Amino acid sequence: MCVRDKKNFFFFDNNVEIKINSLEHAYLCVLEENLDVAYSIFCRNDSPRGLWGTSLVEILKNYLEKYPTYFQIRNFLEIDLDFLIKNEKLSYVESLLGSLDFISGINQEVYKFVARVMLHNKLYKIAYNYMIKSKDFYYNDPELHFMLASYYYNSMNYEAARFSINECLNMISNYYPALELKFKIEEKLV
């Protein structure tokens, strides 16, 4: 059984009370590398998060029988990947990243989701690689072009930033954050 002492781990809210057999308890078991107990707790929680948790544990164990849904991936992949990175569970991060080619068949935005987490964690080169993979997989995503423009802008590659922001604005011409970024990019190119 997993101990309910979270002091050695990053939790999103340190004031959260962890009750036995709760979803929080299952995530604590994941962090303590007790995947069998985590799995059994997730199975007892008939909720979107619990159902995702069963798929997550299977992915972390490098087999997948209970496929996650499009919405489970959209709602929970980023949060859990960030959670694993912050808790330095690198083998789990690798397992999750290793599943992306497969789960991209369920939700084509997975590479963008991963890129966003990597950007948030200042893993810029990895983020860039996933943005390019996402662009190759699904080019017509304005949010992705905005992310690329931001990346290029911060890398001082203003011509590439201009191209990406224009691609974004070609898809959503009134996207305010993109309009602001375009203005900043154009100032650098003068």
Q: Is the dihedral of CA 7, 9, 13, 16 positive or negative?
A: negative
Per-residue tokens: 49: 């998060």
Taking only the tens place, the pLDDT of each residue in 37-73 is 999 999 999 999 999 999 999 999 999 999 999 999 9
**Mean pLDDT on 101-120:** 97
Residue 1 has pLDDT above 70, yes or no: no
Residue 3 has pLDDT above 80, yes or no: no
Query: In this predicted structure, what is the pLDDT of residue 8?
Result: 58
The whole-angstrom separation of Cα 40 and Cα 84 is 19
Query: In this predicted structure, what is the pLDDT of residue 156?
Result: 97
Q: Which residues 6+ apart lie within 8 Å of 30 measured at CB? A: 38, 56, 57, 60, 89, 92
Residue 108 has pLDDT above 90, yes or no: yes
Taking only the tens place, the pLDDT of each residue in 171-180 is 999 999 999 9
Using CA atoms, how far residue 184 sits from 26, 155, 171, in Å, is 45, 14, 19
Residue 121 has pLDDT above 90, yes or no: yes
Q: pLDDT grade, residue 5 (50/70/90)? A: low
The total of other beta-carbon atoms located within 10 Å of residue 126's CB is 16
Taking only the tens place, the pLDDT of each residue in 6-46 is 555 655 566 677 889 999 999 999 999 999 999 999 999 99
Per-residue tokens: 56: 């997550």
Q: pLDDT grade, residue 75 (50/70/90)? A: very high
Q: Helix 176-189 and helix 142-154: axis angle, to 10°? A: 30
* Burial class of residue 148, CB neighbours in 10 A (0-12, 13-18, 19+): buried
Query: In this predicted structure, what is the pLDDT of residue 10?
Result: 59
Q: Give the mean pLDDT of the chain.
A: 93
How large a percentage of the chain has pLDDT more than 70?
Answer: 92
Per-residue tokens: 145: 């072009």
Q: pLDDT grade, residue 95 (50/70/90)? A: very high
Amino acid identity for residue 149 in this structure = A
Query: In this predicted structure, what is the pLDDT of residue 190?
Result: 87
